[in-house]
Amino acid sequence: MSWTSPFSLPGYWYKGNLHCHTTQSDGLATPEESVRWYQERGYDFIAITDHWVLTRGCPEPDGARDGAFVTITGAELHGKGYHLLALGLSALPDEALADSPCEIAAAVRASGGLAYAAHPYWTGQSSADVGAMTGIDGVEVFNAVCEKMDGLGHARVHWDDLLSQGRRLTGLSVDDTHWKHGSHGTGYVMVRAATLTEAAILEAIAAGHFYASTGPTIQDLRIVALPDGRRALKVCCSPCATITFYAKGPAGRRFTAPAGEALHSALLPLRSEQVFARVECQDHAGRIAWSNAVMLEDVPGID
């Protein structure tokens, strides 16, 4: 397996929120109101993910409104000690299995869906608890409503612990809006897909061809050769105060802009003992963009 940068792929960047509650469960806006709110603010897609309610997506762009927009099939599933964000599934799992996250994740995958550990810090899960959830595709590295309510929206430690163990998990940034805590319009993903259809968006998300953000833009991410022949991961981004590369343990590095200035790029030399490398770009307002991780065993030429 070799790593492919989504920035090298043909297609387009599409913006979406993958976690949204409505009056079908504990949200205050209807599904129609939710779709309208995001579409009017320049999003390309959302997933409506009510608790144990399957909301089927609109697979092709909706031509009834100005601007193309699709919805992604979704639901939020949960049991004792965990919540699971499910996308693209064809049917809900049997709720009798709710207290077995592995069986729920397996059922989601068997129905053609993707499964993500939702807000694990807020739920009270350790990284070991999340690691025991076999069959998941990734984690919510940032959940806006959990951050706004309790300061428990980040899950970078959970993510990095599992990446360090070789788990191939991607990271989502989501609103998890309930339309009553002011989280809508905060966390989103930028997906590189060939077309704006539900199938193409889900295929790209499954392949990790996206980045997550609350504001900054990642403009490029690729492997480059250094003058001495070593490989490095280089990122280019919108103006930021810090660019931080994360790897196993202390093997990453943070770059900080001088006072009154901004960073637009940085690079990290790669070594096999780092296991993985991912980057966070934080702007002067404190907003962050997260790349997905590059698993270094997928990059030729690293010692």
CATH 2.60.15.10 is held by the domain 11-210? no
Cβ burial, residue 47 (10 Å; 0-12/13-18/19+) = buried
What confidence tier does 230 reach under pLDDT thresholds 50, 70, 90? Answer: very high
Specify whether the CB–CB gap between 114 and 108 falls below 8 A.
yes
Strands 242-246 and 253-256: antiparallel
pLDDT digits (tens, 9 = 90+) for 88-141: 999 999 999 999 999 999 999 999 999 999 999 999 999 999 999 999 999 999
pTM of the prediction? 0.97
**pLDDT tens-digit readout, 151-175:** 999 999 999 999 999 999 999 999 9
- How far apart are the C-alpha atoms of 265 and 270, rounded to whole Å? 16
Q: In terms of DSSP H, where are the helices of the chain?
A: 31-40, 101-110, 120-123, 127-131, 144-150, 156-164, 198-207
Q: Domains of the chain: which residue ranges?
A: 11-210, 218-298
Rounded CA gap, 146 and 152, in Å? 5
Nearest Cα to Cα of residue 248 among 166, 184, 135: 166
Closest CA to 197 of 94, 47, 104, 61: 61
Q: Please state which of the four CATH numbers 3.40.50, 3.30.70, 1.20.1740, 2.60.40 is assigned to the domain occupying 218-298.
A: 2.60.40
d(CA 20, CA 176): 5
